[in-house]
Amino acid sequence: MQRLNPPRCAVVGSPIGHSLSPVIHRAAYTALGLEWDYQAIELQPPEFGPFVDGLDEPWRGLSVTMPLKEEAARCGEPSDDVRLTGAANTVILEQQGRRVYNTDIAGFGEALASAGIPAGLPALIVGNGATARSAFVALARTGSRSITLTGRRPEGVAEFWRWASWSGIDPKELAWGSAPDSDTRLIISTVPAAGAAGVVEALTENAERLVALFDAIYHPWPTTLAARVSDRGATVLSGLDLLVHQAAHQILLMTGHQVEIEVLTSAVRAELRRRADA
């Protein structure tokens, strides 16, 4: 018999209609034998604070996606990774108050490792926002010492490198629309497909030298960038790889229980097949 007021969680952001987070978290609840509720809620940045302030029992946690990660970082006691990046993707509601976490960092690192991508590769990060900061931390922690950044706004790139000065990595900047250096072996794109559309040709100029591309979105898929790199023979990871790995950490924070990655991956694959057939 289902509890009258089961614990509640949700993913918040905008746009949110395509989100696979409800599928992932509900699959985890089923595997763990938990009668919890998980929904997707459309929120814009001005709505986020009032929404979170209004949460009480039986709410346990929120998954936070764009464009709310920086607002989330300010809505509770931050973890060390949130303090470092200024971005949070997880809000945990406790009797003592709210705590906020960044599970994207672990998600990036674990997804790359699970795909067999060697650590420490010379890398290019496309974009300079919250997700790019998480990708940078993941790369720095796994041994990358050569990291280049490219972004549409030079001032945004400069701000990023001021933030990244803690790492001891010498800043490298690639002008927007220029080809990566020939020694680049990994590209992590953190921008929407439309944002990268005008620079795909440049980014793939030396694609035959790439080991992998990690395109951190999953809708629409495949992106032009992902398709082009895949055709050149490199390993391609999508936002789904990031999503399931970071979600496993969220589920542990929210419920106190670990769930196997394959449970989450299988649920995602089944949902994508269902959507394709609809």
* Residue 69 among the catalytic residues: yes
- For residue 53, give the H/E element and its range: helix 45-53
- Identified catalytic residue from 19, 27, 63, 69: 69
231 token code pair: 């055709």
- For residue 263, give the H/E element and its range: helix 261-277
Residue 13 C-alpha from the chain's centroid: 13
160 token code pair: 């990023």
Query: Three-class SS string for 134-196?
Result: HHHHHHHHCCCCCEEEECCCHHHHHHHHHHHHHHCCCCEECCCCCCCCCCCCEEEECCCHHHH
162 token code pair: 């001021």
Nearest Cα to 172, choosing from 186, 158, 185, 182?
Answer: 158
Nearest Cα to 85, choosing from 30, 124, 131?
Answer: 131
| Catalytic residue ranges | 69
